[in-house]
Structure 1
């Protein structure tokens, strides 16, 4: 089980840059479809994390990181609030990732629960996400009470560049499943 989950602030994000980049590189190398292709380098991953800083600063992106019993960063999750006036009640769950060596220990489920709690506290009424159909992440969302909204064929490429369908899910945080 995860030793601790912390919400990362804009002030804390730069201090964790290299650890976050290493996690992203390892998760993509492990085959997870997170929007990146195989061969993702540390600097490219670090630059991606850097690009999130303005959204974390303004509060439109909420980000959590988990550390395993050994103290190493082993997972993250975030949600991004919609900026359009008619959609400010909703947020997209993004980048639930767990290091391959930490899978099967409840880390993903714990991160997901923390993000859902944070969304409910922030007044988010609807969370939505997309995930590779048939993936381990899809099983996590189903078991956590998320509702399938549909599947889109050939939605995204996995790290090897092969197209896969994605399943869309939604959940009302704070409501019983």
Structure 2
């Protein structure tokens, strides 16, 4: 783990102020081949529009946004907890867009983000978390190490940023 990186929850105003930095992380991850809902090339405008929407969701209390910052205060990672779910699922949340900039990988940042999202879920009164990721990916192994239970795989569920089909594994975690 890296002690020069801090992970914290950001509120609506700060989320809006982080849009450009978060767009940089997203664009880097997509360029690096991460299957996170976007195709290459991901334009800055599209990435910023996505994060503006996320910031709006934070303002509406529909999601929790966590960021990881390096010692210089630069955003190097992020994860979200989506809490806007149907009324029969008040105990559940989805974990989304766990991203770490390629220059900051292999330093324990993703592990710290996942621990922080668990804590945020507890603070929000959520006891069942769900996420999905590319089957066999580094993220898949991270989630298993963090206590997530594999539900199963859906072949050809999504596309990689280059258009190649990829399988997706679904996970859940009880807190």
Gaps of 5+ in 1: none
- Secondary structure at the residue paired with 2:113? helix
Among 87, 95, 98, the residue aligned to 1:96: 98
CA distance in 2, matches of 1:3, 1:54: 26
The counterpart of 1:16, out of the listed 15, 18, 28, is 18
Separation in structure 2 between the aligned mates of residue 115 and residue 32 of structure 1, nearest angstrom: 20
Partner of 2:124: 122
**CA shift at 1:38, angstroms?**
1.1
- 1:75-154 aligned at under 5 Å gives the runs 75-154=77-156
For 2:91 and 2:56, the matched residues in 1 are separated by 21
RMSD (Å) for aligned C-alpha atoms: 1.1
Give 3-state SS (helix, strand or coil) of 1:109's partner.
helix
Task: Report the Cα distance in structure 1 between the residues aligned to 2:153 and 2:137, rounded to whole angstroms.
Answer: 13
Q: CA deviation at 1:70?
A: 3.9
Contact 1:82 1:90 in 2 (8 A): no
Q: Normalization by structure 1: what TM-score?
A: 0.94
What displacement does 1:43 show? Answer: 1.1
| Over 6 Å off, 4+ runs | none
Secondary structure of the equivalent of 1:138? helix
TM-score, structure 2 length as denominator?
Answer: 0.95
> 5+ unaligned residues in a row in structure 2: which ranges?
none
Task: Tell me, in whole angstroms, the C-alpha distance in 2 between the residues paired with 1:91 and 1:115.
Answer: 10
Give the distance between the partners of 2:55 and 2:84, measured in 1 at CA.
Answer: 17
Q: Does structure 1 retain, via aligned residues, the 8 Å contact 2:66–2:78?
A: yes
**Residue correspondences, number:** 173
How far apart in 1 are the matches of 2:71 and 2:107? 11
1:82–1:89 CA contact under 8 A, matched in 2: no
User: 2-side partners of 1:104 and 1:70: how far apart?
Assistant: 18
Please give the per-residue CA displacement for 1:113-171, whole angstroms capped at 9, x wherever unaligned: 00001101211010000100011110110110100011100000011111111000000
